[in-house]
Amino acid sequence: MLGSRANPVLVLDFGAQYAQLIARRVRELHVYSKIVSHAITAEEVLAERPRALILSGGPKSVWVEGAPTVDPRIWELDLPILGICYGAQLMSRELGGEVARSGSGEFGRTLFESSSDGGSLLSGLPGEFEVWMSHQDAIVRGPGGATTLGSTEHAPVAAFEDRGAKRYGVQFHPEVSHGSFGREVLSSFLFSAGGIEPRWTNFTIIEEAIGEIRQTVGESRAICALSGGVDSTVAAVLTHEAIGDQLTCVFVDTGLLRAGEAEQVTTLFRSQFHITLVHVDASDRFFANLAGVTDPESKRKIIGETFIRVFEEIAAELSDAKFLVQGTLYPDVIESGTATAAKIKSHHNVGGLPEDMSFSLVEPLRHLFKDEVRAVGVELGVPEAMVWRQPFPGPGLAVRIIGEVTPEHAGRVREADRIVQEELNRSGASKGLWQAFAVLAPSLRSVGVSGDERTYDSPVILRAVESEDAMTADWARLPYDVIDRISRRIVGEVAGVNRVVYDVTSKPPGTIEWE
């Protein structure tokens, strides 16, 4: 049962972070997109029954030995194809054009000048506008039969199209918000060139998800792994819409939650949504299983397995509980390792589940990005305060403790995090942030002074980032006075901490979380 996910736009990933952003931009235009490997075969493409293909940018030059390419038979398919940056260069090189090693790359904002009426791709756009470039090589002649639509100072063919062959290319990145008219370029490709109908809406997402859940679960019972975060909350409400009282939500207090979270979750689900909720305090069990463990991947897997074992025990008390509902998102799937993406980290709900788990999974959000989940949540009546909460990792505070996870360490990082949230909210600095939190490094010690006494305590790392979907992120330029208040309060109020440092690393090369 695919519905609006039938006939997707396939984004062929050549190894750049841009592929995820392209997919999101297509979906913002209400067209379902799916990321696949550039190594996909023509037969596999046809099996997806796509409406169009988009070739993403990539970090390599088309002239580097071993540079990624595509199955040559893909060019022969009767499908609209848009090449972006590397994708446009590859199309040109493979189909009779020319790509030169100019030695004068373009990076960042660049002036684009149209050299024709704009064709179908740039129709209605100004003769000059700023675009976002990131390339070293340049297209000097587009594919055979293609018309040049515009250029920049160092890119003679910065856009081209061949309407008869349904081939289009831009040297710039229309998916990046820093340039102008990127949305219009993608819209022209999808609707004018591709003739695609915009069917990917909140309403269709909800209706189709409800239908799929009902078809999957049937008359059985399901348990929802409820963490209290945005993803699991929306997954729970959506599943309840589908199967009603066949759903039991299980909220496990791991001892690794944010301050006041257990009370907030139980009140919301029992009072507002009237969803059956089992609240299990398993904190002692989690801390016992994590004792002495310092490896981040081991911690994630232990937490994931402990979650499942708790669920299995609850399921034993319910008749016919065969399904486990989880708030897995599309970025979770990608970052946990796919054919097109390296494994960045294990998620407890993707790569960290035990093989002998007795449940079958129901993942109603598996195809969605975070912004789509939030929009669906609003549509379902989830309070906006919950919908717009900052993302919280499945393993909880365990991934914000560098080293062994103990009740004492969890208490310290929880208190530090509470202070971070209070000060950011009080100052208004939380607006526009994707995430902001505290990390405790108990295994590190530094000399400090408290009153007239020498201290030898641990540091807290303050992390705040801006992002659209967590695939990439930039560290937030918080006001110094806000950082100062956070630092003073943490050092003064959290026992065993005598230093606060601010993480100014973007993603990439870092990740948002520390472990």
SS (H, E, C) 453-512: EEEEEEEEEEEEEECCCCCCEEECCCCHHHHHHHHHHHHHHCCCEEEEEECCCCECCCCC
Name the residue type at position 509.
P
**212 catalytic residue (yes or no):** no
CB 514 within 8 A of CB 399: yes
- Share above pLDDT 70 across residues of the chain, in percent, rounded to a whole number: 92
- Given 38, 85, 208, 409, which residue is catalytic? 85
CB 65 within 8 A of CB 208: no
In degrees, rounded to 5, the angle at the alpha carbon of residue 161 between the alpha carbons of residues 87 and 179 is 60
**85 catalytic residue (yes or no):** yes
Residue 154 pLDDT level (bands cut at 50, 70, 90): confident
- Given 106, 135, 161, 173, which residue is catalytic? 173
- Given 38, 106, 135, 175, which residue is catalytic? 175
Q: How far apart are CA 490 and CA 420, in angstroms?
A: 8
**175 catalytic residue (yes or no):** yes
Task: Write the DSSP symbol of residue 271.
Answer: I
pLDDT at 353: 52
Residues 6+ apart with CB under 8 A from 137: 61, 62, 63, 89, 99, 100, 101, 102, 105
Q: What average pLDDT does range 182-190 have in this prediction?
A: 95
pLDDT higher than threshold 60 for residue 350: no
Q: How far apart are CA 162 and CA 143, in angstroms?
A: 8
CA 51, chain centre distance (Å): 24
Q: What average pLDDT does range 102-117 have in this prediction?
A: 79
Sign of the CA dihedral 78, 83, 87, 89?
positive
pLDDT higher than threshold 70 for residue 233: yes
Residue 31 pLDDT level (bands cut at 50, 70, 90): very high
Residue 147 pLDDT level (bands cut at 50, 70, 90): very high
CB 416 within 8 A of CB 438: yes
400, two tokens = 């914000």
Strands 98-100 and 497-502: unpaired
pLDDT at 468: 75
Query: pLDDT tens across 447-503, in order?
Result: 776 655 667 689 999 999 998 767 778 999 999 999 999 999 999 999 999 999 999
Q: What average pLDDT does range 195-218 have in this prediction?
A: 94
Residue with the bigger pLDDT between 494 and 348: it is 494
pLDDT at 104: 67
Residue with the bigger pLDDT between 153 and 30: it is 30
